[in-house]
Amino acid sequence: MKKIFLPNKIDIEKIIIASNNQFLNSITGKLEKYDFDIKKLRIESIYYILYLIFYSTIHRLNVKNQEEKNKYVNTNQFIFNDVYIDLPSTLLQSIDRDYHKIMKFLTNQHLNYDNLLFRNEYKNGKSFSYSMNYTYINSGYKIIDLTRLSIINNIKKNCTISIKGKIIDKKLKKLKNDFLTKFDINFDKLSNKLMSQNIISEYSSLISLFDYHNGRRWMSLNDKTDGRLHTNFTNLSSQYRKLITNKSGENLAELDISSCIPYLFIISLMYNTKLKNLIIENDNLVLYQVIFEDIINYYTKNEITESLIKELKQIYVDILDNNFYKRFTTGSDLQKSDILSLFFCEIGTKQKVEQKLKELYPHIHYILNQLKNNQTWIKKYGYPPYENCNKVLAHYLFHIEASIMLFKLIDNIKKYNKNIEIITIHDCVMISNKYLDEVKLIMENTFKEHISFPPKLKVKI
């Protein structure tokens, strides 16, 4: 059975009963009778059409920057919506032969109810487009089971498996097979309330879950950029990840690397030569690795290695003791996200946290600025980097993460027990609770195999 969800406030059955087959003429302000019986409209078709508009609206808003999002949302409430979604007549016809009546019903006002949709008229060869009335979005949500054959067929046609990146088929086949066939979503545990203050992000997470259930499953990996594996599950918040089970209905535990980016950064400085054993299939990042070596050589030649090593060891100890972020946030208004942004932002854009880094770890502050400075690359190679160096640094650290998590760890787990179902979410691996101890040990040994100082692992059940 296929499933969709819509905000609770959208209650078609109530609107139909309350309307008494009448709508409010927007010009005269008077009630008029429909020339058809709205009680005979197929409720399931109406909900599915609304979901298509709602689905596309959330997708479009989710990719906007925060400043653009603020036009539509204030905290966790929609305050505006002018995102118009094209709905071709061919698509609507395939869903329901009475789609003209349905769209008329949805764009009309009814007694005690505003219209659910606003419509842009047909022009310049384009189909009608529709925007959802934002006042209906600000509520909890409900799950709707779909059974009509025409809708099921439409979902099957559009909910296809999408695999982008040849490396997935070549090197991550076991992980791909697990993702496509070995997991379910436990909708019984899904709350009908929005759990966070980011309503767009939360609706987007729900869409990812429902897509996975309905068959729209996707994986992508671009080894020319961040090298990370992205799937339906990648951006789910913790409360939604808990809904994923294996086919036996067993809950999944999470094992992730504590303070992963800071950890990988200091490891890159401590064991740069050893990291060459990790395959990075990106020529630009191989060049960037040489820049790391140059910086370490500079410190060695200038006899200040001892001071740098002291800072690196302190950060490593702080990571193991869960104190890395606390050292920045104690006595300040800095957040974890501010500290993480240090590694990816352009120089000078996060002055408060950059100053804190300089106070705590002056050598790391200097090195980080050198690695994010385009002039460092230009001085070395005589031409600009392919991206600003702050982005190159992010790609480099993500590639190291992926090299271990995707191409080393997964093989080691499957060699131990091929029946262990695995989901990876960047620096996190999700497995059935019953395999937690074994996988934790495998994960620790995998890191020890490639890096002398393993990370601290966090367990979430």
DSSP symbols for 98-147: THHHHHHHHHSBBTTB--SEEEEPPBTTBPPEEEE-GGGTSS-EEEEEE-
Residues 6+ apart with CB under 8 A from 310: none
Rounded CA separation 279/289 (Å): 12
CA dihedral 37, 40, 42, 47 (to 10 degrees): 50
Question: Which phi and psi angles does 167 have, rounded to 5°?
Answer: -65, -25
Q: What is the pTM of this model?
A: 0.89
pLDDT of the residue at 308: 86
Q: Where are the alpha helices (DSSP H) in 250-335?
A: 260-270, 283-301, 305-320, 324-329
Whole-number pLDDT of residue 281? 67
Backbone angles phi, psi at 23, to 5 degrees: -130, 160
Which pLDDT does position 274 carry in this prediction? 58
Dihedral pair phi/psi, residue 232, rounded to 5°: -55, -30
On whether the CB atoms of residues 459 and 255 are closer than 8 A, the answer is: yes
Q: In the block, which residue shows the tokens 């339906």?
A: 232
Determine the 3-state secondary structure of 255 from DSSP. Answer: strand
Across-strand partners of 429? 255, 424
pLDDT value of residue 244: 95
CB 414 within 8 A of CB 372: no
- 306: Cβ–Cβ under 8 A, 6 or more apart, which residues? none
- As a whole number of angstroms, the distance between CA 198 and CA 77 comes to 9
Q: What is the mean pLDDT of each run of 10 residues along the chain (461 residues)?
A: 92 94 88 94 96 94 87 86 91 93 95 92 76 88 92 87 89 94 92 79 92 94 90 90 93 94 89 62 84 82 77 92 88 84 89 91 93 94 93 92 92 94 95 94 90 87 85
The H or E element that residue 185 is part of is: strand 183-185
- Beta strand 218-221 with 457-460 is unpaired
The pLDDT value recorded for residue 423 is 96
Q: Which residues contact 374 (CB under 8 A, 6 or more apart)?
A: 384, 385, 388, 389
Per-residue burial over 64-76, b if 16 or more Cβ lie within 10 Å, else e, is eeeeebeebbeee
pLDDT at position 277: 63
Quick one: which of 230, 171, 264 has its CA closest to 426?
Answer: 230
Hey, what long-range contacts does 360-368 have (CB within 8 A, 24 or more apart)?
A: 360/327, 360/328, 361/311, 361/314, 361/315, 362/311, 363/299, 363/304, 363/307, 363/308, 363/311, 364/266, 364/308, 364/311, 364/312, 364/315, 367/269, 367/295, 367/308, 368/265, 368/342, 368/343
